[in-house]
Amino acid sequence: MTARTIRAAALAAGAALFLAACGGGGGGSETPAGGGTGATGAAASFDLVKEGTLTACSEVPYPPFEVEDPSKPSGYGGFDIDLLQAIADNLGLKLAVADVSFDALQSGTTLVAGQCDVGASAITITDKRKANLDFTDPYYDSLQSLLVPADSDIKSIDDLAGKNVAVQQGTTGQAYATEHAPEANLSAFPGDGEMWPALQAGQVDAILQDLPVNVEHAKADKNYVIVQEFDTGEQYGYALAKGKNPELLKAINTQLKDLRDNGTYQKIYDSYFAASGS
């Protein structure tokens, strides 16, 4: 199956589980891990979707944070995934990744449905999302940005009136564009995998989204440039279903601190961002 077909099937399964949870009061397919052999021995206390496995939901592709990578143990790589792989390794768990809709993930629907244990998808921590999700400590500071063709007459967000601008559905980029470019014609796409081809095909005039992702496109194709960056003070966190697995939340936060302290975090960070300066 294609990635989109797999995503559709996964969402259908998730929706069914969500309805079952609403009707019967159950918590989805929760199974005590038991098989974890982490240094802390805490893995056994986690309620995991699959025994011995940390299952992450992510919207792919979203380079450099989420990409398909057959060379990696989970079949996926990117900054979010590599960092989570290190966390899973230290907890004595395997890491599995499911490709899902970002909109359903950031709203909490996917996690409530029991489709995965954690969301790892460049998710900005916001007060609105905290109503439905538990977030780990922040692990990445991000900016928004505007990507256009190199020969475009768009030089800043002030030039977007009447222009067709691609944003990702349910993201802080969409919220920022809605607030700061009210006269633009915003087109909400499911993900970067649809927005980037739309810009290349001339179907939209610009993309407004997270800076590191637009940096990847500008590096890959010199016909496109970033004309403006927006310091929105955003920070990414891994997301968990609200109140469902506090022990797992605590363990991930502990691992994030340990990985920063022992240099592993910086090593992973530099592998993706040192060259671009993002």
pLDDT at position 137: 98
CA distance 85 to 275: 22
Which DSSP category does 153 fall into?
S
* pTM score, whole prediction: 0.79
CA distance 209 to 151: 20
238: pLDDT strictly greater than 50 = yes
C-alpha to C-alpha distances, 4 to 61, 116, 121, 128, nearest whole angstrom = 11, 18, 16, 28
| CATH 3.40.50.1970 assigned to 53-139+237-273 | no
∠37-269-89 over CA atoms, to 5°?
A: 5
Confidence grade of residue 8 (pLDDT, cut at 50, 70, 90): very low
- 142-234: CATH, from 3.40.190.10, 3.10.580.10, 3.40.50.300, 3.30.70.100: 3.40.190.10
Q: What is the pLDDT of residues 88-127, one digit of tens each?
A: 999 999 999 999 999 999 999 999 999 999 999 999 999 9
pLDDT, averaged across the chain: 86
Confidence grade of residue 193 (pLDDT, cut at 50, 70, 90): very high
Residue 12: how many CA atoms within 13 Å on its side-chain side? 6
pLDDT at position 39: 44
Q: What is the pLDDT of residues 27-61, one digit of tens each?
A: 333 333 333 344 445 666 799 999 999 999 999 99
CA distance 101 to 257: 29
Could you give phi then psi for residue 184, rounded to 5 degrees? -80, 155
Neighbours of 22 (CB within 10 A): 11
Whether residue 106 contacts residue 58, with contact meaning beta carbons closer than 8 Å, is answered with: no
**Tokens for 190?**
């499911």
Q: Where are the domains of the chain?
A: 53-139+237-273, 142-234
Q: Report the length, in residues, of the chain.
A: 278
CA trace torsion 150, 152, 154, 156 (10° rounding): 0
Which DSSP category does 158 fall into?
G
CA distance 170 to 186: 13
CA distance 147 to 165: 10
The reply to whether 142-234 shares the fold of 53-139+237-273 is yes
